[in-house]
Amino acid sequence: MPHYITSTDYKVEKLVSDTNDYQYRVTYYFPTVNMHVTVFSSLANNGTGVMMKEGSKLMGNKSFKFVSLLEDLPKTIEAADIDGDNSYDYIIRLKNNIGSSFGKQVHTTLYMFRKPNLFSYQGHAVVSFFAWKEYDINKDGKYEIPSMDLVGIQQESMFALNMFQFKNNTFENVGGEKEKYPMFYKYKEGDTVLPTKVRKVKLDTRKYYVSKLPMITYHEQ
């Protein structure tokens, strides 16, 4: 895993809750790099946003088309060099706290990647069952981002584990570049849903899921 630094402050600046709308505005601070990361969400606007400030300079502002709750946010967020460009990228790991026990296993991670010109950030949302962290599979100094989706294959429900990466200034599905990905696991119903043994599928099925981005972009449409 990459070397992470964590924020030191968790400040709720605004919180409104009534029958028509709920919204929050929370700021995290990284003193070693003088970076403020503000996360905000509103039911009326049907969105969750991230704003980046280095000192007083606005560095990025991304809106995602889904609503999160204040209790979905962690008390600290992380920064690490995910894409190997020697600058920090910022990671906000949200935990779904509404819905069924199955729905509560869904995690949404917001990534703010620093662009090559170093003066702005680009945001992406990754949705996955289970809380995955970044991992350098092929040891090239650039970290892959796992995502596990529940899909229907060959008349069965299976978990599909795939790999994504921020490179060439875009967020790409790199499962086709990694041996054995995507990997498919049997889905077993229960209060706590976990993937069981690996299931083999046809090669053309694997290629189909490599070419798609399961649960990766629907928040951003």
pLDDT digits (tens, 9 = 90+) for 140-165: 888 999 888 888 887 888 888 888 88
Provide the H-helix boundaries in the chain: 203-211
pLDDT digits (tens, 9 = 90+) for 174-211: 876 666 788 888 877 765 666 777 888 887 777 777 76
pLDDT score of 42 more than 80: yes
Give the pLDDT score at 185.
Answer: 86
DSSP string, 111-175: EEEEPTTSS-EEEEEEEEES----B-SSSSS--BEEEEEEEEETTEEEEEEEEEEEETTEEEE-G
pLDDT score of 110 more than 80: yes
Residue 60 to residue 52: CA distance in whole angstroms: 5
Across 42-52, average pLDDT: 88
* Beta bridge partner(s), residue 122: 113
Give the pLDDT score at 218.
Answer: 38
103/108: higher pLDDT = 108
Give the pLDDT score at 179.
Answer: 63
- Please state, in angstroms and as integers, the Cα–Cα distance from residue 44 to each residue in 18, 23, 204, following that order: 11, 8, 43
Cis, bond preceding 214 (omega within 30 deg of 0): no
Give the pLDDT score at 151.
Answer: 82
Q: In which order are the strands placed within the sheet that holds 121-129?
A: 5-6, 78-80, 89-95, 106-114, 121-129
State the residue range of the domain holding 187. Answer: 5-220
Look at the chain and report how many structural domains it folds into. Answer: 1
